Structure 1
Amino acid sequence: MLQQGLINPFDLESKHLNRLVKLGIYLPDNYTSLYKHHVIIAFDGQDFSQLGQLHRSYEKLYAADVIERAIIVYVHYPDVKTRKKEYHPDSPDKQQMIKFVVSELMPYIDQNFATLKTGNARLLMGDSLAASLSLSVILSYPMNFSRALLLSPMISETIIEEFVTSETSHIDLYHVIGKEEHSFKLMSGEKADFLTPNQAFHERLVSAGVTTYYEELDGGHTWKTWKPQLDSVLKYFLSK
């Protein structure tokens, strides 16, 4: 039995990834099976729960009667190497992670919790590579997942190709990037420019008529820049 008001650790066996996937399932204090809930899936779950405190933003806004009911599922990665393998937009293993989300994770959530089973009631969240993964999921399955928060995603040619060949009329994005992300150090020690590709991708979204909120933030590729956005994100997608 999962406890309400807490992040409950849970291991989900994945045949596609050939491993146990560690989750953190947050059920709000007011959770009841009498009402259907939106579903928020946050990749890089450790960061969204510990650094972003996403569930605390939800609690505050729901208590103020600002947003709809939702549950939050934090998806944790086991190590940096696995994260890169399963999240990087150009990695072939990304497809196995997408299959896990669509055919294993989402069915588990819908079978065990009172959820709204429509694409516009499912919100994917990610930062950096996890944002790229969120984008790839909705570009691959826009009818299953149509909403995503993109915190400084890595935009590669693979992402562009996915976008060009996808049905995008149903998707809705909240897309932000730091103004200082024209040059920052990756974990590998290399320098990267995330700002310019994100600016170009936003222009492409606008040209295609995709529903999107876009902002360039003061700051860099850090949670200090991203965390203040979470209240606005929840209100954007879940406002009553």
Structure 2
Amino acid sequence: MILTRKKAAMISVICAVLVIAIICLLTKPSQSNLLFQLGEEVSPVAIDAGEFVPVDSNKILTEQNARLIKVENFHAKQLNNDRSLHIYLPPGYYTDTVKRFPVLYVQDGKSVFDYSDWSKESLGMHVTADKLISEKKIQEIIIVGIDNIGEERINEYAHWDGIDMGKPVKGKGLLYENFVIHDVKPFIDQNFRTMKDREHTALMGASIGGLVTFNIGYRHPETFSKLAMMSPYFGWGDGKIYSELDRGVYQEKRPVKLWIDVGSTEEDFMGMAAAVISFLRKNGYQDYDELAVYEAPGGEHSERFWADRVEPILLYFFGDIGKPQSVALYMEQEVSISKMPYGNMNAVVTYDSGFKLTDIKGNYKVEKPELLLVGTYGRLRPLKEGKTSVTFLSSLGLEADGEITVVK
């Protein structure tokens, strides 16, 4: 009798464990129930492009509420090659089956959500987008990462021939442009609930991916209304972009909203960006509303640093940046008369939403102007040894102070 009771107790425990396990399986959160977290490994649902059907009737995706999707072997007709597309769907995609969403297309697609083969770093855009959406700071969006083709990356991202690391480059930018506009976008519009018009379509890229983003978007404002260039390699190909700015479609102001950023350690890229920014402002682009510029303090040329700039880009394009809250003045504590480059001052304005930009319209007031000049974009020109304070008067009604020493 005692043995029977023990068996009965054991059976009861086993049954309870099984019930709990079944409940856990049935209530296991799907991708759409959870927000993506930093450092979390989430495998996308992979489907061959030839077998892909629209999401709303795609059981493979709807049964899993898949929000990270990899479309494999997607064919580029004119380039005649295949690559993958990496797609992020917002948390509410499966709960509202009528709603349509803006789309952000991003170059170098693998590192948009996953780790780059080159740097082993990631932009982690799915994490940032989920965070901002959950905080109701941006609208829900779809993000599409377009893979590069390894050795063909430079060729496809270049709109003209050139030399890269001693090797000749045959520019295939026009063919790649055709691929993005006439292959990728129609596929996304046909298979996902997108807002197809230009007002809700954006393009983004980093380094030479920023250059091709500028070229494609500036040439096709009928397709894209927002362009984000992170550490753009405007000087690639002997800086041909600078001569192009005075001719053809480039010489006219286009109806696009522009974001340009660069890290403060990227001295060469800062100079390249400054030249294009000057052209755009001369062409009539209005600071803040049409053109946002950000020099990221300590920023370097890799995904880990670009990831920190994803949030202000998403806020600028798809949210409400809010109101200016504070300004901080980043600068060298010491500058040498005999050592170039002299560097620059960087006035970073932070908004109440967390949005950041560099105020390039403000004025610098040097206490002892005989020691130091501060020019366009905060460029420094040391004149004489000594110490002076500098006050920055923001065009947004804010103020910041700093002190700098000029040495021989």
- TM-score if structure 2 supplies the norm length? 0.53
Q: Distance in 1 between matches of 2:158 and 2:65?
A: 33
CA distance in 1, matches of 2:315, 2:265: 26
Cα distance in 2, alignment partners of residues 95 and 197 from structure 1: 22
Q: In 2, Cα distance between the equivalents of 1:117 and 1:131?
A: 23
Task: Judge conservation of contact 1:150–1:174 (CA < 8 Å) in 2.
Answer: yes
Q: 21-30 vs 157-166, which deviates more?
A: 157-166
- State the 1:33 CA deviation: 4.0
How many equivalent residue pairs? 229
What are the within-5 Å matches in structure 2 for residues 1-240 of structure 1?
1=58, 2=61, 4-11=65-72, 12-31=74-93, 32-50=96-114, 51-79=122-150, 81-91=151-161, 92-156=171-235, 157-164=239-246, 165-166=248-249, 167-182=252-267, 193-210=268-285, 211-218=290-297, 219-239=299-319
CA distance in 2, matches of 1:201, 1:5: 40
Question: Using the alignment, how far apart are the partners of 2:203 and 2:189 within structure 1?
Answer: 15
Contact 2:102 2:200 in 1 (8 A): yes
**Aligned match of 1:188:** none
Contact 2:159 2:172 in 1 (8 A): no
Alpha-carbon separation, structure 1, partners of 2:84 and 2:292: 31
Amino acid of the structure 1 residue aligned with 2:156: E
Q: Is this contact kept in 2: 1:89–1:159, CA < 8 A?
A: no
Q: RCO greater where, 1 or 2, for CA within 8 Å and sep 6 or more? A: 1
162-171 vs 135-144, greater mean Cα deviation: 162-171
Q: Is this contact kept in 2: 1:179–1:220, CA < 8 A?
A: yes
Paired with 1:201 and 1:142, the residues of 2 have a C-alpha distance of 18
Q: Which secondary structure does the structure 1 equivalent of 2:292 belong to?
A: strand
Is the helix fraction higher in 1 or 2? 1
Counterpart Cα distance in 1 of 2:197 and 2:215: 18
The AA in structure 2 aligned to 1:86 is E
CA contact (8 A) 1:62 1:69 kept: yes
C-alpha deviations, 1:161-209, integer Å up to 9, x for none? 5544224331111110112212xxxxxxxxxx22211111111111112
Q: Which runs of 5+ in 2 are unaligned?
A: 1-57, 115-121, 162-170, 321-408
Flag the structure with larger Rg. Answer: 2
Residue identity matched to 1:45: G
